[in-house]
Structures are given as C-alpha cells and as structure tokens.
Amino acid sequence: AQTVTQSQPEMSVQEAETVTLSCTYDTSENNYYLFWYKQPPSRQMILVIRQEAYKQQNATENRFSVNFQKAAKSFSLKISDSQLGDTAMYFCAFMKRQTGANNLFFGTGTRLTVIP
C-alpha cells in the first residue's frame, strides 16, 4: 500500500519570500507520479505541479519547483516569491503509473498562509 506523509500541518511565509513544503511517501512501486495540489478557500482542487518518477530532473512551473529525491522517497515543494493568492491547503499525492487505474493517494495537507 502507498502512504503519503506531510509532517507540517501549518506553515506561514512573508509575501515575496520563499517557502518549502515537505512530503515523504512510501511505496514498493518503481513507476509512479507525484503531485502537489492546491486547495484554496473555494475548495477547488488545482494541480500545481507533477513529477514523473523515472525523470531525474526536478519539475518546475513558474514560481513552483520540486526537490524530488527518489531514493529517500521525498518530494518537497518550493514556492518562490510567495503571493497572497498562494494562501491555501497544499496536498502531496502519489499515483501508481498504470493504464486505467489512476487513483491518487493524498497526504493530510499543509495549510500555508502568506502574510502581507
């Protein structure tokens, strides 16, 4: 079974500063995806960034980047130049790479507050 652990229930960061959210996971699979989802107060689930486990290069999406350490089963999210709109719950998620059964396993989330 896959488990995803987010050990930081809450974090805060000053506007324009950088913050890193932590995530570890446990799996015996070799082919999988890792994701960070953002859930703002509207409750919509928004995909922030995706990493394919077979790719060594860390994924980057504008101000968002990850530090993927496969051997350590670690997948942290770095948000640069934090903006007020980044205030949200952030969920780390794991997906086994297979056709037709792409269910996600989520961590418990980190509530991020960006302080003006």
Residue 63 CB, shortest distance to another protein, in Å, is 20
Residue ranges binding another protein (CB under 8 A): 33, 35, 42-45, 47, 50, 52, 91, 95, 97-109
Nearer to another protein, 46 or 84 (CB): 46
Q: Could you tell me the smallest distance in angstroms from the CB atom of residue 24 to another protein? A: 14
Give the single-character DSSP code of 16.
T
Minimum separation from the CB atom of position 78 to another protein (A): 21
Spatial contact of 3 and 25, defined as CB atoms under 8 Å apart: yes
Q: What are the two backbone dihedrals, phi and then psi, of residue 64, each rounded to the nearest 5 degrees?
A: -105, 135
Whichever of 16 and 47 has its CB closer to another protein, that residue is: 47
Residue whose CB is less far from another protein, 95 or 114: 95
20, burial (CB in 10 Å: exposed 0-12, middle 13-18, buried 19+): middle
SS3 at position 84: helix
